[in-house]
Structures are given as structure tokens and as C-alpha cells.
Amino acid sequence: MAKYELPKVPYAYDALEPHIDARTMEIHHTKHHQAYTDGLNNALATQSPEIQNMELTKLLANLDKVAENVRGAVNFHGGGYENHALFWNSMKPNGGGKPGSGILDAINSVFGNFDSFKEKFTKDTIAIQGSGWGWLTYNPQGKKVEFTTMPNQTSPRTKGLVPLLGLDVWEHAYYLKYQNRRADYVNAWWNVINWDEVDNRLSKAKS
């Protein structure tokens, strides 16, 4: 059984230059994302058809259903699989700027205004210790967006949150171009965000 395949990146590896360089994109996708894909398939291979056939988003939100001996692997590789698929699709060449009305209203109602949100996301994501992600999520309980950081590849879904926009701050995401300058990478990333995609995710999460 090899249910999961490496998802496509919807633009060329050099399309996000100069903000994210082609070599980083290529290695990040073909090596790192591939490794999460393989790791997820391997972990699920030992599980029942019921678990194997469960939607990944559901699986990540219900890790207690997975046998204990592979739970950590499904958390890590399953999170890594979905996080990266979301990541590629939430970027585009000539992206950035301010988001459209739906997501902007949601951001404004929680953070006051877009600049305050951007400042918090930037500051708290740069401050992540070790490897992890900064996330704008939708909380279906509170019916509002929220910012959270997650360690390693753990999905926001494990906390009942729907991921809307995530930034990977593992060193593999930026070290070739930015070396130790994580802040420069985070600041550059705002220029490639695909806000239409983020807005679509919010609409879906609310419906």
C-alpha cells in the first residue's frame, strides 16, 4: 500500500525568486516532502483498512485512533505531508500585499488590523525554538481565526484547529539562501503569500 503521493508544486521551483530560491524549493519538495510522504505510507502500512482509508485531515485530528506504536510517526509524517501541501499552495509568484475581504475581516476582528497581525505572526514565528511552524488557523469552536505555533511537523488539527496559512521555519526551508538569518526569510515570505487560497480555506473551514 502506498496511498500517498508527493503533491505537486503549482509553479516552477524558481518562481518565488528572489524571496525563496529555486534550489531550496527543489530540495524541500523532492527530498523533504518526499520523505514525509514515504514516512506516512510506511506508518499506515501496518494499520487497519479503517485507519488507512480515513481522510488525513480526520486522522490528524483523531490521533488517539491510531495504534500507539505508530502514533508518533503518523503525527510527524502525516503532519509533514499536509503542512507542506498547504505550504506550496499558499504561495505564488507576485503574491503578498493585503488579503481580500473575507480573511481580512476575520484578521481585523481578532488582531485589530492587518499590520498588528503581521507583526505578531512575524515576531512569534521567528522566535520558535528549534524546528516548527507559525500558523494562522480557524478555531471552529470559537468561530474565529487565531495564531499559534506548532513544534516540528505537528499539525494544528491535533488541537482541533483548521490550518489556513503556515510558515515553515525548519532550517531546511531557508538555510541555503539565508543561513542563520531566519528573520530575513520570514520577512521575505510575506511577498509570496497567495491570499486568495488562504481566503478559500477560511470559507471552507466555516462551511
Q: Looking at beta carbons only, is 121 or 133 nearer to Mn ion?
A: 133
- Site membership for Mn ion, residue 82 (CB under 5 A): no
CB atoms within 10 A of CB 153: 22
CB of 63 to Mn ion, least distance (A): 20
Which one, 114 or 170, has the nearer CB to Mn ion? 170
Residues 6 or more apart whose CB falls under 8 angstroms from that of 169 comprise 125, 126, 128, 131, 132, 133, 134, 182, 185, 186
Residue 130's φ and ψ, nearest 5 degrees, are 75, -145
Closest CB 69 distance from Mn ion, rounded Å: 25
| Nearest-approach distance from CB 207 to Mn ion, in angstroms | 29
Q: Specify the stretch interacting with Mn ion by CB under 5 A; choose among 1-9, 42-50, 141-149, 165-173.
A: 165-173
Query: For the stretch 16-45, what's the b/e string if a residue is b when 16 or more beta carbons lie within 10 angstroms of its beta carbon?
Result: beebbbeebbeebbeebbeebbebbbebbe
* Residue 168 engages Mn ion in binding (rule: CB under 5 A): yes
Nearer to Mn ion by Cβ, of 33 and 99: the residue is 33
Nearer to Mn ion, 76 or 111 (CB): 76
CB 32 within 8 A of CB 84: yes
Size of the site for Mn ion (CB under 5 A): 3
Total number of residues shown for the chain: 207
Cis peptide bond upstream of 163, omega within 30: no
C-alpha distances (whole Å) from 115 to each of 28, 46, 118, 122, 137 are 29, 47, 5, 10, 17
State the minimum distance, in angstroms, from the CB of residue 145 to Mn ion.
23
Region binding Mn ion by CB under 5 A among candidate stretches 98-106, 120-128, 129-137, 166-174:
166-174
Segment near Mn ion (CB under 5 A); pick from 61-69, 119-127, 128-136, 170-178: 170-178
The minimum distance between CB 167 and Mn ion, in angstroms, equals 10
Residues making contact with Mn ion (CB under 5 A): 168, 170, 173
